[in-house]
Structure 1
Amino acid sequence: MSKNAILAPIKIKAMILAAGRGNRLRPLTDTLPKPLIPVCGKPLIEYHIEALAEAGVMDIVINHAWLGERLEAELGSGARWGVTLHYSPEPEGGLETAGGIIQALPLLGDSPFLVVNGDVYCDIQFKTLLQTAQQMASDSSRLAHLVLVPSPNHNQTGDFGLNAQQQVMVEGAFTFSGVSVLHPALFNGQPEGVSKLAPVLRKAMQKQRVTGEIYSGIWSDVGTVKRLNATEKMLGCI
């Protein structure tokens, strides 16, 4: 193939992380899986499905480990949003983030994919991240692209930094939003089973293979009852 040849766009998939038990949202999550907790009358996960569908993502993988049958019954095939939902059930207690993604890789394929934490509310434009995913598909130097946000009150020390070359640094004042584009190769050599994502990302950061961007729009980690109420107040529905 000529180096000037135009490559056809790759069909980008997405994964919504929905396997958390939601202990900090109890008692709401005693009978309802965390992704179905309503925010202004709509299950939180539906905001993500709608936004991904609007951006053009047609295949969405959802993992679950708590009340997964109810999650699948509520969301169904995805036809109402014009997408196909694929489910990745995990054992009781879940596999943590990296473990859950590794288990779902056969559903996600060989191309870069979007990842969205199921317990955040945001209005991030996924369409621009699809462009990033297309670029990463032909750029073997990048294994991950993270969306960072100014650190909220509950995480004032931050997670990561960002240098002038848009490379994510292992220390800094920004918080990981839970939204990213990941290349399957990020998990090469990682064993199956329970494993966290942060160590995998930090290893890639040390090799300067993780880029990022700062997002300053609407974003909220709906991880506690207090923050759920604050999110609904921010959106003007309470």
Structure 2
Amino acid sequence: MVMKVVILAGGAGRRLENLLAGRPKSLINVLGKPLIYYTLISLSKLGLWDIVLVTDKPSYFEEVPAGIPPTLDVKIVKQEKPEVEGALLSAEDYVKNEERFLMLYGSVITDYEAYRSVIDASKYFKFNALAVPEADLTGLETLEIDINNFITKFSSEPKG
């Protein structure tokens, strides 16, 4: 499967500021690995090796997480303007000659089969997207972390 991938990894995670200490939220550890690790593993399962990671803090991504297949070609591009639009403009040179590419968020864990569905649909439709219904996530705002800043528990707060 030949398709370039753009991963948006510049999210500040303002509600997680104390946990992140200035790092992008795609680097928060879940089960001992940064969120971006799970995205990269999913892409490798699909044979997607040509990846650009867009971030406003490239120095945080200089080390590829342990366990990532060495065949992944991850280029890091500095995001110059804010928001998703700014991130995509920063990746423009990378994808401008592509008929299609896959854009992902680096702070979202998604099963690789969902990515496969989007890629398969792109063969038949000019534009497509994977979307999920909006959900009330109010009760998932409390995290417990251990001494190494690993998430150990998500806690629900009662509404009201």
Q: TM-score, normalised by structure 1?
A: 0.53
Task: Find the residue that maps to 1:74 and give its secondary structure.
Answer: coil
Aligned pairs (5 A) from 1:76-95: 80-91=69-80, 94-95=81-82
Aligned to 1:112: 100
CA distance 1:113–1:226, shift in 2 (3 Å): farther
In structure 1, how many angstroms separate the alpha carbons of the residues matched to 2:144 and 2:102? 24
CA distance 1:79–1:121, shift in 2 (3 Å): closer
Aligned to 1:226: 142
Q: What one-letter code is carried by the residue in structure 2 that aligns with 1:115? A: M
Shift of 1:60: 0.9
Shift of 1:232: 6.3
Aligned to 1:135: 124
Task: Find the residue that maps to 1:153 and give its secondary structure.
Answer: coil
Conserved in 1, the CA contact under 8 Å of 2:143 and 2:153? Answer: no
In structure 1, how many angstroms separate the alpha carbons of the residues matched to 2:144 and 2:47? 28
In structure 1, how many angstroms separate the alpha carbons of the residues matched to 2:152 and 2:5? 26
Shift of 1:130: 2.0
Aligned to 1:146: 129
CA-to-partner distance for each residue in 1:149-170, whole Å, 9 max, x for gaps? 1322138xxxxxxxxxxxxxxx
CA-to-partner distance for each residue in 1:112-136, whole Å, 9 max, x for gaps? 1111111222225122222223334
Task: Find the residue that maps to 1:80 and give its secondary structure.
Answer: coil
In structure 1, how many angstroms separate the alpha carbons of the residues matched to 2:59 and 2:21? 14
Aligned pairs (5 A) from 1:1-238: 11-66=2-57, 68-71=58-61, 73-75=62-64, 80-91=69-80, 94-108=81-95, 109-125=97-113, 126-136=115-125, 142=126, 144-154=127-137, 226=142
Unaligned 5+ segments in structure 1 are 1-8, 137-141, 156-223
CA distance 1:31–1:19, shift in 2 (3 Å): closer
CA-to-partner distance for each residue in 1:72-127, whole Å, 9 max, x for gaps? x2228x97342101111023xx4210121122121123221111111222225122
In structure 2, how many angstroms separate the alpha carbons of the residues matched to 1:15 and 1:89? 12
Unaligned 5+ segments in structure 2 are 146-150, 155-160
Q: Which has the larger radius of gyration?
A: 1
RCO higher in structure (CA 8 A, sep ≥6): 2
CA-to-partner distance for each residue in 1:181-212, whole Å, 9 max, x for gaps? xxxxxxxxxxxxxxxxxxxxxxxxxxxxxxxx
Conserved in 1, the CA contact under 8 Å of 2:8 and 2:105? Answer: yes
In structure 1, how many angstroms separate the alpha carbons of the residues matched to 2:31 and 2:71? 23
Residue identity over aligned pairs, in percent, reads 26
Conserved in 2, the CA contact under 8 Å of 1:44 and 1:118? Answer: yes
Q: TM-score, normalised by structure 2?
A: 0.75
